[in-house]
Chains A and B, each alone.
Chain A
Amino acid sequence: MKPVDRRLFQHARAARGFLLVTVALGLVTTGMVLAQAELLARLLANAARGTGLAAFSTALVALLAVVAVRAAAAYGGEVAALRAAATVKSQLRRGLAAQLQRLGPAWLARQQPGEITTVATRGLDGLDPYFARYLPQLVLACLVPAAVLATVATADWISAVIIAATLPLIPIFAVLVGMHTRARTQRQWRLLARLSGHFLDVVEGLPTLKVFGRAKRQADVIKEVTEGYRSATMATLRVAFLSALVLELAAAVSTALVAVEVGLRLLAGHLGYQTALVVLLLTPEAYLPLRAVGMHFHASMEGAAAAGRACDIIETVPASARVAAAGTGKPPPAVDLRYDDINLDAVSLAYPGRNQPALAEVTMTIRPGDQIAVTGPSGAGKSSLLALLLRFSEPTGGRITAGGNDLACIDIENWRRQVAWVPQRPYLFAATVADNIALGQPEADRRDVARAAELAGADAFIQALPEGYDTPLGEHALRLSAGQRQRIALARAFLRDAPLLLLDEPTAHLDALVARQILAVIETLMAGRTVILVTHRHAWHGGADRMYTLDHGHLLPTASGESARRRVAVLP
């Protein structure tokens, strides 16, 4: 892990200004450290019997001023750091959000779910200690030792030599011990994660353990495992804490060395008392920021790592940008899916890092009013086909045209306005029921929303919610059953009123009774639209004009579908 990530300052401008403030405050603090030692030494050395406070009023007032400036710098530094951290977090977060929008759902589908949200929320919060503790100490660790060394050198060069010789020991030892213990510490962290996982595993599995009469005995296992972990960890910690021990010893022993050396020279009359005191007071100050940097390094690295991940994402080049760069200049052609055909001509789709293409040379024509069913086992490429038509992905081979125009040239907003989509598990946003239905039509009035809900069979249960259409849905919309969520998604599609309807296993996870009701709604939604339906449920085949099977990315016309040109409606 690098001590400072340069990209942080590229992507978050607020960080740059803050760096200047921190350096300025570091300079002030350094000056105050030197002034305080000088004034203290003067007061201690020159206080003598018979001279009252009056003789030292200047020094005392100056010292008070130093105290005030240090307190002000501490206050200002912390406030500036936290404000900068808040602004940097905001800049990174908004940059990240905008970038996620550019990268699109196809990219997101290949990421760890939850990881990105964690980075954007709790992860970036870890930048507070980075800005408020680590960076200022890093600046001080560069400034103070040098200033102390210079000051001590003018007062007593022998002490300066001792400090100069021992100071580098701290970073050197820190690195050496760190390298020695890193492998062991990392193994220990993995063990810790596993142990924590074990406890969670056992707690989650309690009902199962109880059924098999194994639950009570697990208490001893937990005790044993935690004990075993403790002794293993302590063995590692005995080594890991050596690094801190070495740092403490280097700082304390050097201070002692300087103190004794100065004391002996003072005794011999080679040095003044005041000078000796200045050296004594300044020596620990040289080591302090170095140790503090080490202490804050680990605490702040979590935030720095999250920021690094955010920068990685922000720097990712979206796939569509690469394509869009190809064709520009002409105004985008207008397409009307009510009248225009869609042609897939040997279309392939391969995801980076996968051997097999998700779709291999798929060719099909979708005419207005076609009702097409596509079946196939999980992973055969059914959702990839819809992703292409939704323009979440661009084909990596072949061409999709609509009304004779290459899909890549058609304005994406214009295209999607003509498409409605009902996925297997629709996402319900933390907004009101009405806003969730009007996702694609924020300008729709309440009457239109209610009408769409009615068509989807959702009006009755929405009316029964505590605040009707204004009931807020939670993050995971716990209140609604799977069937109700699907009805909200159908209401969205009704309100969208688009000529091309894409259905992605809309009833796969519902029990038969509910699935049947939902299918009845879908039947009305399909009327008068071009439909592509991806499904596991065989019953659909009868309702479609044409049927295909996807097998390992290859699209095969299904025999029965080809022969059964007539529509057989088995649906109610």
Chain B
Amino acid sequence: MRARLASQRLRAAQSGGPDPLLRLLRLARPLRGRLLLAVLAGAAATACGVALLAVSGFMLARASQHPNIIAISAAVVAVRALSVGRGTFRYGERLASHDVAFRVLADVRVSIYRRLERLAPAGLRAFRSGDLLARLVSDVDATQDLFIRAVVPPLTAILVGAGAVVVCLLLLAPAAGVLAAGLVVAGVTVPLLAAARARMAARRTAPARGELAADLTGLVAGAADLHAFGAQDAALASVARHDRSLTLLARWSASGEGLGAGLIAAATGLTMWGVLLLGVAAVGAGTLTRVPLAVLALTAMASFEAVSALPSAATQLGQARASAARVGAVLDAPDPVTEPAVPRPLPGGPLRVTLRAARVRYDRDGPLALDGVDLDLVAGRRVALVGPSGAGKSTVAAVLLRFCDLAGGTATLGGCDLRSYPADDVRTVIGGCTQDPHIFDASIRENLLLARPGASDGELAEAAAQARLLPWVESLPQGWDTSVGTRGGAVSGGERQRLALARALLAGPDLLILDEPTAHLDPETRATLTTDLLDATRGRATLLITHELRGLDQVDEIVVLDQGRVVGRGTHDGLLRECSLYRQMWDAEQALTAA
């Protein structure tokens, strides 16, 4: 569903508005000088190659007239110099273009990041699947290829092609016309055709490719289910069927791709042939002599090196455009929250946060995620927010953390509208653990220091002790400097959650929000962590979001949410009597945990 929304937005970005590629290129504007340097070096390298053959031709033609050695000595020197120049300039071009590419990458990353920073997390709901976010990041990284493979070669080709045509123009005007035409066919027409064909082929094969990929994923990821139910042969037959149709399509589209290679070869050969024809005729007619004929023919022949990289550059551009469109879709996503025009300073005095008749919807025409929720959070008071999955519990946290705006009702901090404060300021007062808190690929210490840079070792130890993380940290050979791996993958789920809890406690916001701190843990770990976090939050203003009711007799108020509405509020004992949903949840939990 979300994936489909994202792809719709991408299509919208592809169909209208300014070319996404131009937008990306505009980001490179400050680097024009370096880009020009790369293009000039590339042009010089290719020009050296063309000139090497042309001057050699001149030298041989002149030598065949047996003049004094002085007559060809300049050419001899030039041939040697050009041969060295060609390699050297190419080296320079490679370095310059890679340098530009990396510099652009830094700029693109920073500007995309700044945008993502504004959007996350509510504005990135369409990207909630990790795959989509990873693809976005690789789209950004793909911009480096864009400059090396798709921007520098065409510019180089224009310079060298034009130079070669001018040289021929000076020698024999009609031949220059033939060369120009040949270069345009090989450097513009064929690459454009190739790119169009590649797009069409990709469009045609995409459904078959998708079906086959789904089949293969099922075969691997669903292997146990297939074998247990004896459905392996049916699955294999489906792979074979989809494989056959994809292979047929691929074989069909091969002839189109081959056409590109054939056309380039034909354009190169025919141009050479035409130039030769005109040249030989001109010599016959006495308007051209042997020496310029050799230069003309060899220049025309060698100049096609300039356009040889263009078909792949065009295909690359096509792929880059798709990447740029996906990146552009992110840049164009609407801001999930509005910042105040005149920001108000944070209120002093004890914490007072309220929600009144709060309504939230994530999509303009979508259903209400919250529908008339009232909530009071004040200093020293702990409130638990409970309800089945999808009741809107995390949306309350998103509103308080200024991750999303209300569609109706009010949210206040210190008596004033939450929206009148800068969002970053609000989060210095209201903080905690979001659902699935991110653990960074760094050391335990660095992950904790994120919450309060400059915290002393004593403060780290205190927060860790409250989250019951300290004994574990101290038992590790590398202690605080132990790396936790990508997404905290090197440590257990319980330790990850405790690390996130310690981090939230270290930050010490006035209002601590803990969103499902015991999710994804096994029952034993869940029970001990619940006990620990109830101990650690005693006396602190806390909003505890959970679907587990054990231990909630310790909190000051419990609010029961169902489908975005408050269906009960009060104490544990009161709710057991009055709220049927709470009663059902409690009974189910008791039945499941009774030993």
Contact = CB atoms under 8 A, between A and B. Distances in A.
Contacts of A50: 284, 286
B221 interface: yes
A389 to B, nearest CB: 10
Interface in A296-323: none
Interface string A403-417: 000000000010011
Interface in B549-595: 584-585, 587-589, 591-595
Interface stretch (A144-152, A247-255, A356-364): A247-255
A255 to B, nearest CB: 6
A11 interface: no
B196 interface: no
A374 B57 CA distance: 87
Given A50-B284, A70-B269, A427-B225, 9 more contacts: A199-B141, A208-B450, A213-B427, A222-B109, A223-B106, A263-B60, A264-B76, A513-B388, A538-B593
Interface in A402-438: 413, 416-417, 419-421, 423, 426-427, 429-430
Given A259-B60, A392-B224, A440-B231, A49 B98 contact: no
Interface residues of B, number: 158
Contacts of A542: 594
Interface stretch (A39-47, A153-161, A456-464): A39-47
Contacts of A227: 106
B87 A252 contact: yes
Interface stretch (B77-85, B160-168, B342-350, B472-480): B77-85
A60 to B, nearest CB: 6
Contacts of B264: 74
B522 A200 contact: no
Given A44-B297, A48-B290, A233 B102 contact: yes
Closest A-B pairs by Cβ, 5 of them: A75-B262, A67-B269, A440-B229, A427-B222, A82-B254
B257 interface: yes
A479 B297 CA distance: 66
B543 to A, nearest CB: 13
Interface in A4-59: 40, 43-45, 47-53, 55-56
B171 interface: no
A280 B257 CA distance: 33
B496 to A, nearest CB: 12
7 contacts: A108-B223, A204-B130, A212-B431, A256-B79, A266-B64, A514-B389, A538-B594
B391 to A, nearest CB: 11
A324 to B, nearest CB: 15
B403 interface: yes
Given A53-B281, A200-B137, A430-B218, A423 B86 contact: no
A570 B293 CA distance: 101
A87 B247 contact: yes
Given A90-B247, A259-B56, A513-B584, A211 B432 contact: yes
Given A67-B272, A211-B431, A206 B120 contact: yes
B55 to A, nearest CB: 8
B63 A266 contact: yes
A182 B60 CA distance: 42
A335 interface: no
Chain A interface size, as a band, is 35 or more
Interface in B448-497: 450-451, 486-487
Interface string B204-235: 00000101111111111111111111111011
B3 interface: yes
A225 to B, nearest CB: 9
Contacts of B270: 67
B523 A536 contact: yes
A71 B441 contact: no
B592 A539 contact: yes
Contacts of B431: 211-212
Nearest to B267: A71
A399 interface: no
B251 A97 contact: no
Given A90-B244, A104-B227, A237 B60 contact: no
A138 to B, nearest CB: 17
Interface stretch (B111-119, B412-420, B534-542): B111-119
A479 to B, nearest CB: 6
A475 B276 contact: no
A230 B99 contact: yes
Given A230-B99, A237-B94, A273 B120 contact: no
A234 B232 CA distance: 51
B441 A198 contact: yes
Contacts, number: 453
A461 to B, nearest CB: 13
Contacts of A212: 427, 431, 450-451, 503, 507
Contact of B133 (A204, A392, A413): A204
A260 interface: yes
A417 B231 CA distance: 11
Contact of B266 (A67, A277, A572): A67
A199 B59 contact: no
A113 interface: yes
Interface in A446-463: none
A365 interface: no
B95 interface: yes
A197 B424 contact: no
A64 interface: yes
B126 to A, nearest CB: 12
Interface string B365-393: 00000000000000000000000111000
Nearest to A224: B106
B3 A478 contact: yes
Contacts of A73: 265
B41 interface: no
A210 B258 contact: no
B12 interface: no
B279 to A, nearest CB: 7
Interface in A145-188: none
Contact of A90 (B116, B229, B243): B243
Interface stretch (A116-124, A344-352, A522-530, A549-557): A116-124
